[in-house]
Chain A
């Protein structure tokens, strides 16, 4: 985002502003968009022969009548459904860091649904007859046809997400408080709708008795589990790109939350796969053939074997990277895991799910399928189109959420932090400190003259090594009288940990060490928790090098309530819905 000038002069300039948001950018933006545009043009070039000659340019045939397009379709429906993984923590559990970015999940859902619809369109033999499936003007076969239902559910999901995003963005643009009674039901509806969307898509395949490979009741749960891996994996990657190339802030805690969800979903996914393989393997009926074809090859036909084992390997490595907290919280390994899982699921749930359904065919014939160049390039074109669409939509959302795109008469955007106060907002700065060698007498003077109850002890390298509080000084005076110590322990801020009775003449000898510390971005809720659990009066705020930058004492917390950076009514917060 090279152009940072506020774009809020007049309402009639909205289109102009929108135009600027959409077309003005740095070299990275232009490079990215032109590369995608080239891929889109290539896709269209390869689509033309299909439109004029027919689907004969694809490698699908009578035996394998669905292929690469439908594989991408079922995968993308999963990506779309996974947007609920942001909506649930944001609105059911009020996880603030995710609430800020839930719009980007909705945009992903919109993009994925549009791409899924495009994949179905390029797969149908008569795309111009799509209106036959619509109510009133067409003759949708509802309730019988699951594909008929899927058209309804898919378009409904698109509509819900479009309405939610557009409503939220326009209220922020106009500086109006969104009407929760209107929008909350829609947001909540999107949760079961996403589950329904993906289940119904699974049911298209699941309900066909002619295809034993799909005709397993575990298919819909498998669809959901794998969707909840691939979707968030893509989101984690997108979020990191967004916060790198835009001014929009996305917290690590949101990304790690998604990563955690992936680890659960992947565990379920692998379990369900094992359950299915076991059932087919142990019962060993003729219906085992498609699975043998997929994993081992059948009668010398083994096109899919290297693909599925690649997917299995990627999924397993990805799962391990997400399972181990250390690799899940390291961005390097986290990103490798995301890429592995995305590709792994794309193979497993794409070609690995669709093609074996047709092999062997109902009359026992084996026709080996791999997409033709036309199919691959058309698919590349659709993916490029999706990426362009997402980029442009994300630019609009970011411009609105950061106040760059705003109605001229709307009140200025309050860049409020949705997580409420963090240490930085309420801490006392200009921290006084003492060294370990400072005499107790001097410490006492500092406490008394500054009316504070404790002071951090800082070593020569400016690192915090401890705290001397009033209590420490009193304990130092009475340490030889055990009954007084006991009494004092029970009435004056008794600590959770056992304290050693120490005496001495300098700060280093009486201080409490190690000190209880927190970082500048630690939320207030966490600070109060620390104070309560550790039974202390203050938390030293340090930077990454352990240098003291501030103190949050109980009185700072008391002061923060009802004053300071509170939210002004009537003005939506930045970067979030509510």
Chain B
């Protein structure tokens, strides 16, 4: 649905009536099965399997390559936490693009789950942040960089305001979205104090050869236009025991990740050794995303 609005499409749509344009967002024919698909939270495991199989077939056909969709549930005794060492971050934005690639995020229009802003060393006010810094080389003297993404709140305002329960918190702490249930009202975007929610203003476009075929239902499976998405800590990776893509790519080692319930985890080490802070702590969103300065 990326081609510009043509006369032919106009005739097709007006001919079929407004109703079909209303419903016909999915391309070739209307998919009644996905229209009546239930909220993921209400599906039995049998229903989940059936939906997952249908989606695998649909995505594989569409992208001409095998695409797997998992519905792996949260592991027991696991709550994920994330640490960000602002002393080490050099502002290279490799995390931003690794995330885009890993999570099958739209390239056109561009959506980024991670936003890295540049701040003067003495500054803590985000209103003074530079969102569009673009020097030849990073880091720049006298500045520090602050990557911001979904803070995986324990008291998430987005979940609270969602009118249809398309957003919820999984038992491993990940705030998940059912893209097939979201109605696109964007109340969560207004509610999020971290600008974590991203909206597909048009059908997300990903070149076919750049598709990541390993996907999760609540994670990086292909999205449709008109729904929200956001960082899910690479749910398709972390539930298989791997690092999120941003942690893996970070050349400075500024990103720490692990199970908050495991005393030996990397994130617990960071929490034990450094004085951490949470972004906009006064809003009581209780992020599981911790910032700290490891040096000076």
Could you tell me which A residues sit within 8 Å of B by CB distance?
44, 47-49, 51-56, 58, 60-63, 65-66, 120, 123-130, 132-133, 138-141, 144-148, 150-151, 204-205, 207-211, 286, 289, 357-358, 360-365
Contact = CB atoms under 8 A, between A and B. Distances in A.
B186 A65 contact: yes
B163 A52 contact: no
B195 A362 contact: yes
B164 A128 contact: no
Given A56-B109, A365-B131, 12 more contacts: A52-B13, A65-B199, A125-B186, A125-B226, A128-B22, A132-B164, A132-B183, A144-B160, A145-B160, A145-B161, A147-B162, A147-B187
13 contacts: A52-B1, A53-B1, A55-B202, A61-B201, A126-B183, A126-B226, A132-B181, A147-B161, A148-B164, A209-B284, A286-B125, A358-B190, A363-B126
Nearest to A130: B183
A141 B202 contact: no
A195 B180 CA distance: 35
Interface in B142-187: 148, 157, 159-166, 181-187
B203 A54 contact: yes
B126 A62 contact: no
B23 interface: yes
B33 interface: no
Interface string B95-119: 0000000000000010000010100
A358 B225 CA distance: 22
B187 A145 contact: yes
A159 to B, nearest CB: 19
Nearest to A121: B22
Interface in B35-85: 35, 39, 41-42
B283 A210 contact: yes
Contact of B22 (A51, A123, A362, A363): A51
A53 B183 contact: no
Query: Of A65, A127, A208, which is in contact with the most chain B CB atoms at under 10 Å from its CB?
Result: A65
A243 to B, nearest CB: 36
Most buried by B among A139, A144, A148, A209: A139
Interface string B7-23: 00110011000100111
A44 B184 contact: no
Interface residues of B, number: 64
- Most chain A beta-carbon contacts within 10 A, residue among B10, B126, B164, B165: B164
A209 B9 CA distance: 43
Given A126-B226, A129-B181, A210 B1 contact: no
B270 interface: no
Contacts of A146: 161
A148 B185 CA distance: 11
Contact of A363 (B148, B166, B199, B225): B148
B82 to A, nearest CB: 18
Contacts of B202: 53-56
B238 interface: no
Contacts of A53: 1, 5, 202
B194 interface: yes
Contacts of B21: 48, 51-52
Given A48-B13, A66-B186, A133-B163, A362 B181 contact: no
B210 interface: no
A363 B9 contact: no
The 7 closest A-B pairs by CB, nearest first: A125-B184, A125-B226, A210-B193, A364-B127, A364-B126, A54-B202, A56-B202
A30 B3 CA distance: 40
Interface in B247-264: none
Nearest to A354: B190
A539 B8 CA distance: 78
A43 to B, nearest CB: 11
Given A52-B9, A52-B13, A365-B131, A209 B283 contact: yes
Given A52-B13, A148-B164, A211 B190 contact: yes
B186 A208 contact: no
A427 to B, nearest CB: 60
A134 to B, nearest CB: 9
A120 B197 CA distance: 19
A124 B25 CA distance: 13
A363 B194 contact: yes
B92 interface: no
B164 A62 contact: no
B237 interface: no
B28 to A, nearest CB: 14
Contact of B182 (A126, A144, A151): A126
B138 interface: no
A123 B164 contact: no
B184 A138 contact: no
Interface in B209-239: 224-228
B198 interface: yes
A289 B125 CA distance: 12
Nearest to A289: B127
A141 B227 CA distance: 17
B128 interface: yes
B86 interface: no
A132 B1 contact: no
Nearest to B35: A128
Contacts of B193: 209-210, 362
Contacts of A52: 1, 5, 9, 13, 21, 24-25
B120 interface: no
B189 A123 contact: no
A405 B57 CA distance: 60
Contacts of B161: 144-147, 204, 207-208
A147 B163 contact: yes
B131 A139 contact: no
B227 A126 contact: yes
Nearest to A205: B190
B183 to A, nearest CB: 5
